[in-house]
A = this chain, B = another copy of it.
Amino acid sequence: MTQPSDKALVPFVSVDNMMRLIHHVGIDAMLRDLASYIEADFHRWELFDKTPRVASHSDVGVIELMPTSDGEAYGFKYVNGHPKNTREGLQTVTAFGLLADVYTGYPVLLTEMTLLTAMRTAATSAMAAKYLAPAGADTMAMIGNGAQSEFQSLAMRAICGVTTIRLYDTDPAATAKCAANLAGTGLRVISCASPEEAIEGAQILTTCTADKQNAKILTDNMVGPGVHINAIGGDCPGKTELAAGILNRSEVFVEYPPQTRIEGEIQQMAADFPVTELWQVITGSAKGRRDAKQITLFDSVGFAIEDFSALRYIRDKVKNTDFFYELDMLADPDDPRDLFGMLQRARTT
Contacts and interface: CB of A to CB of B under 8 A. Distances in A.
A15 interface: yes
Count of identical protomers in the assembly: 2
Contacts of A333: 91
A149 B341 CA distance: 11
Given A67-B56, A336-B89, A115 B331 contact: yes
A181 B23 CA distance: 51
B146 A330 contact: no
Contact of A90 (B16, B82, B336): B336
Contact of A51 (B54, B96, B335, B343): B54
B177 A337 contact: yes
A23 B80 contact: no
Interface in A94-134: 94, 96, 98, 100, 102-107, 112, 114-115, 118
A343 B94 CA distance: 15
B90 A341 contact: no
Interface stretch (A57-65, A157-165, A212-220, A234-242): A57-65
A82 B65 contact: no
A331 B105 contact: no
B74 A14 contact: no
A96 B10 CA distance: 11
A150 interface: yes
Contacts of A339: 91, 114-115, 118, 147
B104 A85 contact: yes
Interface stretch (A1-9, A38-46, A287-295): A1-9
Interface in A334-349: 334-344, 346-347
A92 B339 CA distance: 11
Interface of A: 1-2, 4, 7-8, 12, 14-16, 18-20, 22-23, 27, 49, 51, 54, 56, 58, 60-63, 65, 67, 69, 71, 74, 76, 78, 80-82, 85-86, 88-92, 94, 96, 98, 100, 102-107, 112, 114-115, 118, 145-147, 149-151, 174, 177-178, 180-181, 327-344, 346-347
6 residue pairs, one from A and one from B, having the closest CB atoms: A80-B105, A150-B340, A114-B331, A19-B346, A14-B328, A147-B339
12 contacts: A14-B327, A14-B329, A15-B329, A60-B102, A61-B104, A63-B74, A63-B100, A80-B104, A91-B339, A114-B339, A115-B331, A150-B340
